[in-house]
Chain A
């Protein structure tokens, strides 16, 4: 049985990838993920805000009190260039590369094009096999058009692309007027992969404290329907790879993802809930299912249920809506 797949040009032993989560905060955590059976790991995200905050802090501390006293216009020498960014993150990448055999994918999380993106180069230098760009952007400005939002995504990708040679994947949110269009534009702008979808953590309200309370809820298998549909729609319409994320908990979920057309299947909540070793369980379940149904490889399964492959492509579109509604019979 051949479970291997190719994602971002990387040969993976199986399609199961640990997505960006607190499990990859430490080297020990990354080792446990490898031992647990994942075929690649996406490191926790380094945030644009972290990088900018560091740059602002350095700027503040090296320039405080300057231009205020004629005899001392400055208090520090000004180097032409600072290498910014938490070294710990870079160290984690290089340490992880030495410690594990599976590919290590770094993750940058930001919302605006700018200087912080140059940090991607350091990530590449530290040895990351690929970079996942997570544009976690919630447009709340009523004057910001959808076109402007989309342009922002493309610009950020282009900026990162210009900094590095390693493969770059973009993690998207599902909230686009024309998802297929933005997917195509990112594909054309050089994305090596799209990761569908970012799961926005929705804040809750704490009624006693009258505060907005951040609350992390782990996903369920039901949530994978949205990315599943879009993977199925986009499969073979783009040059880049597709990865499905959100709601993958079981071997069957993985099979569905691959059949829809995913090159990689990202797992997070299931590992957070059950521990890294759960990856092996998912893989074994997938293996058992494939054996039972006489599949010999992941490649054979890949995209077999995508929109281009199914007998009734409209099932993924509006026509399916009618069917769904009509198929539901409330209990009387």
Chain B
């Protein structure tokens, strides 16, 4: 034991040294890998979430992948509380002063609120393009053409576009022309932005479901990340439509009698919605891939992320193991549905987890939310667990068949 304050002074120096270590050049990192993504600077740190929170790793990853061009519309809930502990915020900025733009409106309107970001950005970009073309003589036609035709599908492409925007700023600096002044106000919109609506299952499955469906149907390039804990975590573990069959929650005292709503399947029925179900604890690479694919898709995306929670009654230091078990028993199958594949004659649905290899009970009874029912209503618990096994098996078989449907080529070369 030693007095704490002198130790902290020493650690302060260490911390300052740590901050001087240069970050990786984003354009040189292979970000579509777990290692590569973890080389990127997180722009989400020191949140006020519960120790071991299962949601925050997804947000951290999101900021690593798209942080300096990320716009988040956050549903009210845990993620808006630990994400906006005002006057402090865990969202930070990089050395260039860039970081995520974050806002929170209400609980129920997260998807629509985020779509508002997209509509605004699209309009700004439309206006910027109009002004660029109008001022092409002043700016230089080659630069304007480069900006309008830029490929920003990679980090390198985004960096080049930012450099072009800086050139435009340089050329129009001090220009009193009204159009030039207006262009400087919206020129940033030509750099590709990443719009995400982030919230929990209470928002996405229940209270904001109408709006979420509306945004998916709009076809707009809005990404929705559902941090699915299966309960209203922020208000103390009330049952939501994401609560699994058999789990005890507030308002589901005797165990939830019906299965979790298959939100992903509902989204897939549109055909144009990129949809993925992910769990960092089972396959972190699949999580990275899904986020990148969703972001690269020019249309609506829905990512449903398995998030362990204090309201599950688990040892929070083993949260990722719980996620793994939930996938291994088939209760949380991993998949990606990419509409772009259908256009190539491939089945858009890819199952990313293996067939169930353990019983649902082998996962469920490691969590108090299921186990406690055996202590309260043992017969009911047994009945619900049998039902949970049946519905999980049927659900997996259904997905297997969906993923096996022939979309034409299904990956095979065209017959001559």
Contacts and interface: CB of A to CB of B under 8 A. Distances in A.
Interface of A: 58, 61-62, 64-65, 71-77, 79, 81-84, 87
B30 to A, nearest CB: 38
B311 interface: yes
A225 to B, nearest CB: 46
B236 A75 contact: yes
B310 interface: yes
Contacts of B81: 71
B235 interface: yes
A76 B376 contact: no
Interface in B243-283: 248-250, 253
B235 A71 contact: yes
B378 interface: yes
A125 to B, nearest CB: 12
Contact of B236 (A64, A71, A79): A71
Contact of B376 (A61, A71, A79): A79
Given A72-B234, A72-B235, A75-B310, 12 more contacts: A58-B368, A58-B371, A64-B313, A71-B235, A73-B236, A75-B231, A75-B237, A76-B249, A76-B250, A76-B311, A82-B376, A83-B375
A77 B235 contact: no
Nearest to B313: A61
Given A77-B253, A82-B376, A72 B314 contact: no
Given A71-B234, A72-B234, A77 B249 contact: yes
Nearest to A90: B378
B136 interface: no
23 contacts: A61-B314, A62-B313, A62-B372, A64-B310, A64-B316, A72-B234, A74-B237, A75-B233, A75-B236, A75-B310, A75-B311, A76-B248, A76-B250, A76-B311, A76-B313, A76-B369, A76-B372, A77-B248, A77-B253, A79-B253, A79-B376, A83-B375, A87-B374
B83 to A, nearest CB: 15
B50 interface: yes
Nearest to A83: B375
A58 B250 CA distance: 17
A61 to B, nearest CB: 4
A84 B237 contact: no
B313 A65 contact: no
A65 B310 contact: yes
A58 B375 contact: yes
B368 A76 contact: yes
Nearest to A73: B236
A186 B81 CA distance: 60
Given A76-B311, A77-B249, A82 B235 contact: no
Nearest to A64: B310
Nearest to B315: A61
Which of B231, B253, B311, B369 has the most CB atoms of chain A within a 10 A radius of its CB?
Answer: B311
Q: Which 9 A-B pairs have the closest CB atoms?
A: A72-B236, A61-B313, A75-B311, A75-B237, A61-B368, A82-B375, A65-B310, A79-B376, A77-B253
A74 B310 CA distance: 10
A62 B235 CA distance: 15
Which of B248, B253, B375 has the most CB atoms of chain A within a 10 A radius of its CB?
Answer: B375
B321 to A, nearest CB: 15
Interface in B190-217: none
A116 B349 CA distance: 52
Contacts of B249: 76-77
Contacts of A71: 81, 234-236
A73 B368 CA distance: 18
Contacts of A73: 236
B236 A87 contact: no
Given A65-B310, A76-B311, A83 B378 contact: yes
Nearest to A65: B310
Contacts of A87: 374, 378
B376 A83 contact: yes
Contacts of A77: 248-250, 253
A75 B236 CA distance: 4
Nearest to A84: B375
Which of A65, A73, A76, A82 has the most CB atoms of chain B within a 10 A radius of its CB?
Answer: A76
A79 B373 CA distance: 10
A87 to B, nearest CB: 7
Contacts of A84: 375
A72 B368 contact: no
Interface string B366-388: 00110110111010000000000
B177 to A, nearest CB: 52
Interface string B295-308: 00000000000000
Contacts of A76: 237, 248-250, 311, 313, 368-369, 372
A97 B369 CA distance: 32
Nearest to B231: A75
A314 to B, nearest CB: 57
